[in-house]
């Protein structure tokens, strides 16, 4: 199947996967057990505001949360939402990049369309496994170390292991052999049945265990999980002892084999290391038609939030600026020290372009972003009054002069000076003089137009440049500034 031609709105599942924000946790648990997808999306006015998974249920039960509390209170994790017009191949990348197992899908109006799970994606990409000769042994070293429990352990002890190790299943081992397993789905069942956490896990484990061995092909693992409606399989060694667990997430990661090569080309940094960098880091997928943000490090997330995931780069960089940047990336495969302004901040970034030949993905773009607003302000702004400094005003005056010549327009320059200001400093001190200057600036600025440019030209001298203005309006504005100061 061509995964580049199957869209998320075609495969998203909506039935029994959502609750309203005011619903009780107990209702959410019952729905999650009913849908057998391990996830419930929380909606407010048909728009997704959060997501709860079986892993969250494990944590809630371990901390003994009151299940009659409202669900909305426990929606804490950043929500990653993809548009329904994205392709399956893009969704795979989005899941891998952000280490998530389910993807919330919405439409162009941000209304909830449904959920796409890794299991759902795997059903649409089986051909990729058929073409692959990969066996369990080929990915064994990338699987997590086995965390197990004994039959006489309390359920609470198993929950503690799941929370501590951030794992979705714990096999129950006797003499090295897996005789049962407790999964997040089992925990959900126990919660709805109000089973005491002090009971022995052996009474409630799922048994028998489904196994794969080191020689099992990955396509066979996919089929086993699909047929049994499970999300993980215990891997046993030649002696029959349990050695690892393989999950849907492990299978999805190995669909994107060249993803690891991609990371290696980025100086072999892992995502964890990239999160430690002082720069903001953004990864972008170039689909050929759009450039979509697919991953950000924590520095970016803390500044802009996860909401920019699956959004075009032009929501971050002004579109006219991005067009020039993108053209340079395509031509040279890199950019250096490019600046742009967003809201009241100035950013500088460098980056590179990695061409790829994949369905739905023309290339990857990595951007290193730095907020240089303070540097720019120090270079162009007077530190006391926060007005532009003399250097900036001279440069702006030169540009405005050239612009007015080209457009045959008029502009005015007003120079203001504070009389006898030296006497204030000499009599009351420079600190008092500074306070007076700031008060004068507030009065002056309140009299200017929104698009006039004001600067401190000297000690107590100010320069105001007024674009697109006639003589009489200039006089009126200057007189208004004088009255405001007086």
pLDDT tens by residue, 177-219: 999 999 999 999 999 999 999 999 999 999 999 999 999 988 8
**Confidence category of residue 277, pLDDT binned at 50, 70, 90:** low
Strand order of the β-sheet with 411-417 is 411-417, 461-467, 453-456
Q: Is the pLDDT of residue 123 over 90?
A: no
Give residue-wise pLDDT tens across range 160-171.
999 999 899 999
Q: How many CA atoms lie within 13 A of 265 on its CB side?
A: 13
Q: Is the pLDDT of residue 139 over 90?
A: no
Q: What is the DSSP letter of 357?
A: E
**Confidence category of residue 265, pLDDT binned at 50, 70, 90:** very low
For residues 414 and 478, give the distance between their C-alpha atoms in angstroms, rounded to a whole number. 7
Task: Select from 80, 30, 59, 26 the least CA-distant residue to 292.
Answer: 80
Superfamily of segment(s) 257-375: PAS domain (3.30.450.20)
Q: How many CB atoms lie within 10 A of CB 419?
A: 7
- In the chain, % of residues over pLDDT 70: 91
3-state helix, strand, coil in the chain (%, to 5): 40, 30, 30
Q: Is the pLDDT of residue 31 over 90?
A: yes
One CATH from 3.40.50.300, 3.10.580.10, 3.30.565.10, 3.50.50.60 for 131-253: 3.10.580.10
Q: What is the mean pLDDT of residues 411-420?
A: 90
Looking at per-residue confidence, does 302 or 242 come out higher? 242
- In the chain, % of residues over pLDDT 90: 43
Write the class of the CATH domain 381-485: alpha beta
**Confidence category of residue 258, pLDDT binned at 50, 70, 90:** very low
**Confidence category of residue 269, pLDDT binned at 50, 70, 90:** very low
pLDDT at 253: 66
* Token representation of residue 276: 């430690």
Question: What does the mean pLDDT of the chain come to?
Answer: 86
Supply the angle between the helices 54-62 and 184-192 in degrees, to the nearest 10: 60
Boundaries of every domain in the chain: 3-124, 131-253, 257-375, 381-485
Contacts of 199 (CB under 8 A, 6+ apart): 154, 155
- Count how many residues are written for the chain: 486
pLDDT at 421: 87
**Confidence category of residue 92, pLDDT binned at 50, 70, 90:** confident
Looking at per-residue confidence, does 352 or 93 come out higher? 352
Asked whether the beta carbons of 60 and 70 are under 8 A apart, the reply is no
Q: What is the mean pLDDT of residues 367-396?
A: 85
pLDDT at 23: 95
**Confidence category of residue 264, pLDDT binned at 50, 70, 90:** very low
* Token representation of residue 127: 């051909």
Distance of alpha carbon 14 from its chain centroid, rounded? 23
pLDDT at 126: 55
Task: Select from 4, 254, 11, 307 the least CA-distant residue to 129.
Answer: 254
Q: Would you say the CATH fold of 381-485 matches that of 3-124? A: no
Q: Is the pLDDT of residue 141 over 50?
A: yes
* Most confident by average pLDDT, 43-57, 84-98, 329-343: 43-57
**Is it true that domain 3-124 has CATH number 3.10.580.10?**
yes
pLDDT at 259: 39
For residues 444 and 486, give the distance between their C-alpha atoms in angstroms, rounded to a whole number. 10
Q: How many CA atoms lie within 13 A of 477 on its CB side?
A: 26
Please state which of the ranges 271-275, 283-287, 411-415 shows the lowest mean pLDDT: 271-275
């Amino acid at each position: 199947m061509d995964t580049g031609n199957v869209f998320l709105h075609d495969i998203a599942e909506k039935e029994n996967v959502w609750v309203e924000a005011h619903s009780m946790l107990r209702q959410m648990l019952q729905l999650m057990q009913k849908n057998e997808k391990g996830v419930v999306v929380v909606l407010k006015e048909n728009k997704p505001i959060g997501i709860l998974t079986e892993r969250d249920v494990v944590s809630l039960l371990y901390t003994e949360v009151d299940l009659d509390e409202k669900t909305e209170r426990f929606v804490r994790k950043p929500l990653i939402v993809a548009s329904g017009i994205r392709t399956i191949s893009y969704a795979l990348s989005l899941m891998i990049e952000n280490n998530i197992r389910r993807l919330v899908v919405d439409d162009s109006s941000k209304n909830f369309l449904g959920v796409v799970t890794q299991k759902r994606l795997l059903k649409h990409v089986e051909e990729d496994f058929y073409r692959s000769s990969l066996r369990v042994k080929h990915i064994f070293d990338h699987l997590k170390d086995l965390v197990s429990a004994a039959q006489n352990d309390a359920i609470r002890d198993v929950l503690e292991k799941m929370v501590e190790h951030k794992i979705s299943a714990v096999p129950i081992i006797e003499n090295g052999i897996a005789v049962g397993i407790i999964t997040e789905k089992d925990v959900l069942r126990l919660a709805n049945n109000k089973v005491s956490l002090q009971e022995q896990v052996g009474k409630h484990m799922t048994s028998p265990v489904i196994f794969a061995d080191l020689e099992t092909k990955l396509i066979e693992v996919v089929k086993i999980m699909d047929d049994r409606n499970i999300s993980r399989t215990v891997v046993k060694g030649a002696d029959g002892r349990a050695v690892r667990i393989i999950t849907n997430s492990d299978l999805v990661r190995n669909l994107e084999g060249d993803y690891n090569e991609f990371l290696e080309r980025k100086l072999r940094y892992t995502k964890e290391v990239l999160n430690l960098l002082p720069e903001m880091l953004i990864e972008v997928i170039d689909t050929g038609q759009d450039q979509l943000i697919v991953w950000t490090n924590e520095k970016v997330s803390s500044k802009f939030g996860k909401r920019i995931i699956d959004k075009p780069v032009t929501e971050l960089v002004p579109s006219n600026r991005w067009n020039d940047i993108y053209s340079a990336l395509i031509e040279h495969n890199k950019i250096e020290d490019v600046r742009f302004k967003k809201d009241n901040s100035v950013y500088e970034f460098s980056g590179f372009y990695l061409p790829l030949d994949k369905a739905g993905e023309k290339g990857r773009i990595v951007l290193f972003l730095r907020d240089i607003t303070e540097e720019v302000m120090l270079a162009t702004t007077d530190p006391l009054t926060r007005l532009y400094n003399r250097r900036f005003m001279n440069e702006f005056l030169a540009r405005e002069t050239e612009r007015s010549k080209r457009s045959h327009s008029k502009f005015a320059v007003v120079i203001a000076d504070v009389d006898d200001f030296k006497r204030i400093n000499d009599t009351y001190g420079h600190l008092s003089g500074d306070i007076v200057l700031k008060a004068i600036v507030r009065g002056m600025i309140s009299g200017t137009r929104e698009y006039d440019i004001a600067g401190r030209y000297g000690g107590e001298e100010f320069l105001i440049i007024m674009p697109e203005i006639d003589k009489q309006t200039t006089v009126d504005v200057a007189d208004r500034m004088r009255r405001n100061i007086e």
